[in-house]
Amino acid sequence: MSDDLGKPPPGAAADWTVPQRWESYTPEDHATWDRLFDRQAQLLPGRVTPLFLQGLDLLRLSKPGIPDFEELSERLMKATGWQVVAVPGLVPDSVFFDHLANRRFVAGNFIRRPDQLDYLQEPDIFHDVFGHVPLLANPVFADYMQAYGRGGQRAAAAGAIDRLARLYWYTVEFGLIRAGSGLQLYGAGIVSSFSESRFALEDPSPNRIGFDLKRVMRTRYRIDDFQQTYFVIDSFEDLLDQTLNNDFGPIYAQLSEAADIGTEEVLATDHVYHRGTQDYARAKLAT
């Protein structure tokens, strides 16, 4: 949660946006983008939902160097009416929800250092733009993100932001989607990560479980390492149907007494695609 961030930093507007200042990226910054881009472009075909690749193409994110948000927003606006705006880093939940509810995606304007290619805590421009923006060119996913923003505003009033944040985490950030007899990636936290792109799909360690709204809202998540459980949706249409097209008020009420589910747990009621060995997580604990 990001409610303790206070006021926008100097130079930022009241809605926390800042100019992207594309001309101030160094050649090293652009080279970092290109390296990250090339790695994922090699890895993702076949692993990621084709809807993501269609978005990459449509938005022409592949041209060398860090994208200019104005050009990107122009293309995205034509596709689904979304824009990309720059922010200095994490913004408070209420600000984040307000942007989404108005079809503005906030993206960090900085890029990781060359020695942080594989891991960093705060979302940078590669995670935010490469990871999140391609699916915003998909009309159904674009509606899901806007509905999430509106839902966030209501969840804040209901004191249920934690529940809603779990939905975001296990779909927008770390979601898997069914593809024929197999699974594919769509979550931005996975598709922007070289190592998690393979781990989430191919490693025997994590659970892969059919998406169920209440189940997901009860499940804790990890912010420090690979997930121990991934949730699988059937389609974006189905995700939108099962979630944000409904009123969450009664669901929050039903869940108010429900115990949390651990990051590694499998329930008898789960639709299990793969029961994880949790070998990776256990080995990490032992070190």
Q: How many CB atoms lie within 10 A of CB 110?
A: 16
Q: Does 168 bind ligand HBI (CB under 6 A)?
A: yes
Among residues 153 and 235, whose Cβ is nearest to ligand HBI?
Answer: 153
For the chain, the first-to-last Cα distance in angstroms comes to: 29
Could you tell me the sign of the dihedral formed by the alpha carbons of 215, 190, 58, 86, in that order? positive
Could you tell me the sign of the dihedral formed by the alpha carbons of 279, 280, 283, 284, in that order? negative
Closest CB 173 distance from ligand HBI, rounded Å: 8
What is the DSSP secondary structure assignment for residue 14, as one 8-state letter?
A: T
- Report the alpha-carbon distance of residue 6 to residue 3 in Å, rounded: 7
Q: Does 124 bind ligand HBI (CB under 6 A)?
A: no
Closest CB 192 distance from ligand HBI, rounded Å: 12
Q: Does 213 bind ligand HBI (CB under 6 A)?
A: no
- Of 53, 90, 147, 266, the one binding ligand HBI (CB under 6 A) is 90
**Ranges within 145-164 binding ligand HBI (CB under 6 A):** 161
- Of 36, 165, 232, 261, the one binding ligand HBI (CB under 6 A) is 165
Q: Is 6 left (phi over 0), alpha (psi -120 to 50) or beta?
A: left
Taking CB within 5 to 8 Å according to partner kind, which of ligand HBI, Fe ion, none is near residue 96? ligand HBI
Q: Does 93 bind ligand HBI (CB under 6 A)?
A: yes
Binding site for Fe ion (CB under 5 A): 123, 188
